[in-house]
Amino acid sequence: MKPRHFQILGHYLILCALAVVCVFPFWWTLVTALSSEGNIFAFPPTFWPRAPSLENFAEVFRAIPMLSFYKNSIFIALCTVFWKLALCSMAAYPLARMQFRGRRLVFGLILATLVLPSEVNFLVNFITVTKLSLVDTYTGVILPNVVTAVAILLLKQAFEEVPQDLIDAARVDGASEWTIFSKIMLPLIAPWLATVGILTAVEAWNEYIWPSIVMSKPDEFPLSVGVLYLRGTFGSSTRVIAAGTVLTILPTLAAFLFTQRFFMRGMDGAVK
């Protein structure tokens, strides 16, 4: 072998070692969920399922209304994606392509939301949602997540890449701003809409603190909240919890693996 081959081999070895550290907790959870016998915390542990079966997964569906949880999560994710794409692209377009008074101020305000600890906004948002009578509604779950600075920044970047000639030509033809936006600009930034859409779907699927505050009826929980409900009902049955965990992350992992390229270029537009 030539020195270059050794170098590549070494490179792969480092990559493999790091990948094992990243992925190991997932593997371990999967092994726990698939095994049907033996102590979970047996010493030494096994790294391969013992007497594999799907019994633990079946138990999850018997113990909690898993199908409703899936349905609720999908509904919340789809609505969040639709409204976020609609409202954030409408906000991003003038910021990217129009000159108007107050533009810098609006842009600064949007950037400011990145700095403040919005993580605990839910403390006051719950008061607001209560006053708007949106407790126990999916509207209440969705509304606060519809407009985010990151989405606006990404889409603004996308609009900035569209050649000015196209807009000028449309204006000469007498097209209204709305026509230019909806008929010309939106189709041109479709790949970016897809990126924001997929990132949003995964985020909405994964969110658990806010939905757990707004929704109080277990049947209406999304999956991320419902899986913790499982922990409540099954104090000790770790294998069933592990199976529920696998069922919870399966859709996001699948979405990620099939649309990896959207994630890989996802944020770079936002930082510029």
Partner 1 sequence: MKLSRRSLAAWLFLTPALILLAVFSFWPVGYGSYLAFTDYSLIRPTSWVGLDNFRYIFDNDMFVGGLKNSLLFLLMVPFVQIGALSLAVLVNNKLPGIRYFRAAFYVPVVTTVSVVGIMWGFMFHEQGALNYVMMSLQLVHAPIGWLSNDTLALFSIMFVTLWRGLGWYMVMYLAALQAVPADMQEAAILDGANRWQRFWKITVPMLRPTIMVCTILSVLAALKAYQEVDVLTQGGPMNSTFTALYYAYDQGLKHLKLPRALAASFIVSLFCVSIALLCLRYIRPKHR
- Cβ proximity to partner 1, 153 vs 220, nearer residue: 153
Count residues near partner 1 (CB under 8 A): 91
Alpha carbon distance 212, 51 (integer Å): 36
Residue 59: how many CB atoms within 10 A of its CB?
17
Tell whether residue 11 is a contact of partner 1 (CB under 8 A): yes
Tell whether residue 29 is a contact of partner 1 (CB under 8 A): yes
**Distances in Å between the alpha carbon of 74 and those of 36, 103, 251?**
30, 36, 10
**Residue whose token pair is 């550290």:** 21
- Cβ proximity to partner 1, 50 vs 103, nearer residue: 103
For residue 212, what is the enclosing H or E element?
Answer: helix 209-214
Residue 35 pairs in a beta bridge with 52
Residue type, 103: R
Q: Which residue from 1, 42, 105, 172 is in contact with partner 1, where contact means CB under 8 A?
A: 42
Query: Of 214, 193, 94, 93, which Cα lies nearest the Cα of 145?
Result: 214
> Which residues within the stretch 92-111 sit at the binding site for partner 1 (CB under 8 A)?
93-95, 98-103, 106, 109-110
> Which residues within the stretch 127-186 sit at the binding site for partner 1 (CB under 8 A)?
128, 143-144, 146-147, 152, 177-178, 181
Tell whether residue 26 is a contact of partner 1 (CB under 8 A): yes
The one segment of 53-61, 87-95, 159-167, 189-197 that binds partner 1 by CB under 8 A: 87-95
Specify whether the CB–CB gap between 56 and 68 falls below 8 A: no
Q: Which residue from 10, 38, 45, 52 is in contact with partner 1, where contact means CB under 8 A?
A: 45
Q: Which residues contact 57 (CB under 8 A, 6 or more apart)?
A: 33, 243, 246, 247
The one segment of 5-13, 50-58, 61-69, 159-167 that binds partner 1 by CB under 8 A: 5-13
Query: Which x/- pattern, by CB under 8 A, does the window 193-232 give for partner 1?
Result: ---------x--xxxxx---x----------x--xx--x-
Q: Which residue from 6, 10, 19, 161 is in contact with partner 1, where contact means CB under 8 A?
A: 19
